Amino acid sequence: MAEIARQRWSAERYAETAHFVPALGAPVLEMLAPSPGEHILDLGCGDGVLTEKIVATGATVIAVDAGPDMVAAARARGIDARVMDGQKLTFSGEFDAVFSNAALHWMRDQQAVLAGVHRALRPGGRFVAEMGGHNNTAAIIVALSAVLARRGLGAHRLNPWYFPSAEAYRKKLEQAHFTVEEIAIIPRPTTLPTGIEAWLDTFAEDFLGPLPQPDRSRARAEVADLLRPVLMDETGTWIADYVRLRFRATRAE
């Protein structure tokens, strides 16, 4: 289960269908409160939209992401971005802070992630992040499970995501020698401007990828049919059942 998700990241598709992800990252950026001259690691930088905002504060930022296309998009913004698996960070005592938005839940080996973040931070350095929390996209996962079960596939086995409760993740952070200053589950219904099927194309490749190509679009449509009465409002707008986990912790001695 520790392998990185099979999801293939397209910067162009991400910018088109998932631009709300960095746009909704403002609160976690405020919690980071970067200062001029600080050295900050952006873990799972995506296309660099939020990273640019950290750079604009005068901090020196290194950004890493497992998706080469995303790293290329971040580099095109002038960011020092590198292809790196967040479960295999190679830094040692280099950063005043590690920042992450909407990326940690794609990394199944959390012990390796937290050990790498701890190692990357200077003593007393802070780890500020937001990720999917317990019950994030629960309705979507149930619908995917039902549609895949009709085809003899187990969604649980294919699920690339890790959505912990606040208490579960607090324990993980403490076991990894962090002092947790703030951690909370935040329900955040999220409008999907391009609809649920485009969202599934962008984020659910691990679920739908095993299906033969002709059946994939049928399965996607079936998922949408199941979700329409639950996630579509009376104006025809899709609103996903997002739940976020946001925290600030510091590296303990």
pLDDT digits (tens, 9 = 90+) for 105-140: 999 999 999 999 999 999 999 999 999 999 999 999
Q: How far apart are CA 50 and CA 151, in angstroms?
A: 39
Spatial CB neighbours of 211, under 8 Å, sequence gap ≥ 6 = 151, 153, 219
Name the β-bridge partners of 60: 39
State the pLDDT confidence band at 3, using cuts at 50, 70 and 90: very low
In terms of Cβ atoms closer than 10 Å to its own Cβ (0-12, 13-18, 19+), residue 137 is buried
**Domain ranges in the chain?**
11-136+162-192+241-251
Mean pLDDT of all residues belonging to the chain: 91
State the pLDDT confidence band at 13, using cuts at 50, 70 and 90: very low
What is the 8-class DSSP label of residue 236? S
Name the β-bridge partners of 95: 121
Write out pLDDT tens, residues 84-96.
999 999 999 999 9
Write out pLDDT tens, residues 225-245.
999 999 999 999 999 999 999
Average pLDDT over residues 202-220: 94
Residue 199's identity, in one-letter code, is W
Under CATH, domain 11-136+162-192+241-251 is a member of which superfamily?
Vaccinia Virus protein VP39 (3.40.50.150)
| pLDDT beyond 80 at 24 | no
Write out pLDDT tens, residues 58-84.
999 999 999 999 999 999 999 999 999
The label of the residue with tokens 């269908």 reads: 17
